[in-house]
């Protein structure tokens, strides 16, 4: 148990931040998987919207430093690559 009030407050804050970060990372994973599934199933109408949703989720997390900006760029790049390959078919 922390002996100072500020230490107690920091623990509460870090728990809140942890919950928020976990939720955001989960959102990214879900959006990414939905977009990849749509690409693999050949649902061309849905792909554009799902990719856009995934990119927004990734950018938001990167701007809030929940994921590193290079990881965000890598995820977006891989997603766009698959989406563009599917669009060519």
- What is the pLDDT confidence band of residue 3, given thresholds at 50, 70 and 90? confident
**Mean pLDDT score, 2-6:** 89
User: DSSP letters along the chain, please?
Assistant: --SSHHHHHHHHHHHHHHHHHHHHHHHHHHHHHHHHHHHHHT-HHHHHHHHHHHHHHHHHHHHTTSS-HHHHHHHHHHHHHHHHHHHH-
pLDDT at 60: 96
* Domain spans, the chain: 18-88
pLDDT at 69: 97
Residue 1 clears pLDDT 80, i.e. is over it: no
pTM for the model stands at 0.85
**79 contacts 35 by C-beta, under 8 angstroms:** yes
Specify the CATH number of the domain 18-88: 1.20.58.110
The residue among 44, 57, 51 whose CA lies nearest residue 80 is: 51
The tens digit of pLDDT for each residue in 33-77 reads 999 999 999 888 899 999 999 999 999 999 999 999 999 999 999
């Amino acid at each position: 148990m922390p002996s100072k009030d500020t230490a107690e407050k920091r623990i509460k804050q870090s728990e809140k931040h942890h919950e928020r970060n976990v939720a955001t990372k989960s959102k990214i994973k879900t959006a990414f998987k939905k977009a990849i599934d749509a690409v693999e199933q050949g649902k061309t109408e849905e792909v554009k919207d799902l990719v856009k949703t995934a990119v927004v989720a990734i950018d938001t997390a990167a701007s809030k430093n929940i994921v590193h900006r290079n990881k965000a760029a890598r995820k977006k790049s891989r997603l766009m690559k698959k989406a563009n390959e599917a669009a060519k078919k």
